[in-house]
Amino acid sequence: MSQMLHNQLMNIAALDIAIHNPARLMIVKALNDLDRIDCVQLSELTELSWGNLSSHLGKLEQSGYIRLTKSWIGKKPNTTVELTDEGRQAYLAWGKAVLSALPSQINLRMLFGISEDEHPKESSQSKLPAEQSAARVLWFLPTNHRWDITIPPIDILNQQV
């Protein structure tokens, strides 16, 4: 067995189950993008019931990935949720592990949503604009993803399509 495959498998084995659950992943993704959100808005955004949301927030808080701040707005209680630095790092590590687990059969055509029978036009217009391809392909990357370390750079991706 190759060392690279072994390392990829160990990354997958190390997936953080506190984040990997679909409901908690929705919460962490929303918090990563929005920084902080009120529980009512989070419930509406994720379409989780109050019971489910409360349960998942409790598990994320217990892991140290989120911070709950309780306050009053007028006479009504208000709970705000935000991702901690530890939560951001765990989300980034989760993303790296998931990226290493993607099937090797995924190629650029599949990532860009181009079927095998479609052929790019033989002109300078055949390249996908970077912003269009990033929105179509890299939606799963955290918002604080560093583009200077992306492998391969988006220009190379566009040349290969």
- CATH number assigned to the domain with residue range 3-85, chosen from the 4 options 2.60.40.1180, 3.20.20.330, 2.60.40.10, 1.10.10.10: 1.10.10.10
| 1-27 average pLDDT score | 87
CA-CA distance, 25 to 73, in Å (whole number)? 28
Per-residue pLDDT tens for 78-111? Answer: 999 999 999 999 999 998 888 878 776 665 555 6
Tell which residue, 84, 109, 113, has the closest CA to residue 19.
84
Residues with Cβ < 8 Å from 111, sequence gap 6 or more? 136, 137
CA distance 51 to 58: 11
H or E, element range at 36: strand 36-38
Identify whether the C-beta of residue 20 lies closer than 8 Å to the C-beta of residue 94.
yes
Phi-psi category of residue 100: left, alpha or beta, with phi > 0 → left and psi -120 to 50 → alpha: alpha
The residues spanned by each domain of the chain are 3-85, 104-160
9 three-state secondary structure: helix
* pLDDT tens per residue across span 105-144: 665 555 666 555 555 544 444 444 444 444 444 555 555 5
Alpha-carbon dihedral sign for residues 121, 122, 125, 131: positive
